[in-house]
Amino acid sequence: MKWFKNILNFLFPENCKICQRPLNKNEILVCSKCFDTLPFIKIYCLKCGNPLDETLKDYLKNDNISYCSYCEKRKLYFDKAVACFFYKSPVSNWINEVKFGKNFSLGYKLGILLKIVLKKKIPKVDLTIPLPLSSKRLRERGFNQSFLITWGFLGKKPSEKILKRIVHTKPQTELSQKERWKNVKNAFLASEVVKDKSILVIDDVMTTGATLNEAAKALKKKGARKVYVASLARSSLT
């Protein structure tokens, strides 16, 4: 009856996921007090979104820099990457709850949270789409968590036809940093509708950025003007 509980949770107000206090109408997932305790990424590279050492804050005028040692090393096809949180508790637990506990309404609400946190950092775009799974992985899992997050972000069902994952690849988590870039090569195919459009691609967790970069490459190949990528969480690069 998990689905039934999920629908009930979705329709009726719930408690803060951290302190259990009943939420106000304008609060999502957590109360405003607990919201401030979430692991926000405060200082990051404006190009690749890589979180930067917070001690740099004193040296930076705008809290951020426009490139870092990481993006200098890579050919990046996206114009900008942003992420809300570090991949840390409680955000990492929530993502697992969506992915492995099939908590669909939580996925949707995380999309709303993503919008609240990143609204000033993401430029206005023509199309917002989720990072797709391959059809094999989609069959195995039954749903795409990035689709749920994008649904919450948009407030309506996102299109799944604009970007397709045409190659089934090994899970990135099983590979080294170097292997990840090779593993996803040419894994995506974009539709012609992206020509001259600005696109936002949403994913749950970004680590090296290899997968989102390949998605951006496929979109740019079909003439996308700008490609931005946003993720709910970001694992620090080692």
Minimum CB separation of residue 54 from Zn ion in Å reads 16
Q: Does 19 bind Zn ion (CB under 5 A)?
A: yes
In the complex, minimum distance from the CB of residue 166 to Zn ion, in angstroms, rounded to a whole number: 28
Residue 23 makes contact with Zn ion by CB under 5 A: no
Determine the interface stretch with Zn ion among 67-75, 105-113, 157-165, 226-234 (rule: CB under 5 A): 67-75
Using rule CB under 5 A, residue 34 touches Zn ion: yes
CA distances from 153 to 107, 117, 170 (A): 10, 11, 28
Q: Does 18 bind Zn ion (CB under 5 A)?
A: yes
Could you say which of 50, 128, 150, 169 contacts Zn ion (CB under 5 A)? 50
Between 68 and 215, name the residue whose CB sits nearer to Zn ion.
68
**Cβ atoms 42, 229 nearer than 8 A:** no
The Cα–Cα gap between 71 and 73 comes to 5
| In the block, residue with structure tokens 């995506």 | 188
Shortest distance, position 55 Cβ to Zn ion, whole Å: 17
Give the residue among 205, 231, 203, 200 at the shortest CA–CA distance from 216.
200
Q: Which is closer to Zn ion, CB of 47 or CB of 109? A: 47
Residues whose CB is less than 8 angstroms from the CB of residue 235 and which lie 6 or more positions away in sequence, other chains included: 86, 87, 205, 206, 207
Q: Tell whether residue 82 is a contact of Zn ion (CB under 5 A).
A: no
Q: By CB under 5 A, tell whether 76 contacts Zn ion.
A: no
DSSP assignment string, 16-46: -TTT-PBPPTT--SS-HHHHTTS-B--SBBT
The whole-angstrom separation of Cα 192 and Cα 21 is: 48
Please choose, out of 2-10, 48-56, 112-120, 181-189, the segment that lies near Zn ion by the rule CB under 5 A.
48-56
Q: Does 81 bind Zn ion (CB under 5 A)?
A: no
User: Binding of Zn ion at residue 47 (CB under 5 A)?
Assistant: yes
CB-based burial label for 70 (10 Å; 0-12, 13-18, 19+): middle
Q: Which of 28, 71, 187, 205 is in the footprint of Zn ion by CB under 5 A?
A: 71
Supply the minimum distance, in Å, between the C-beta of residue 195 and Zn ion. 28
Q: Report the alpha-carbon distance of residue 209 to residue 231 in Å, rounded.
A: 10
Residue ranges that bind Zn ion, judged by CB under 5 A: 16, 18-19, 31, 34, 45, 47-48, 50, 68, 70-71
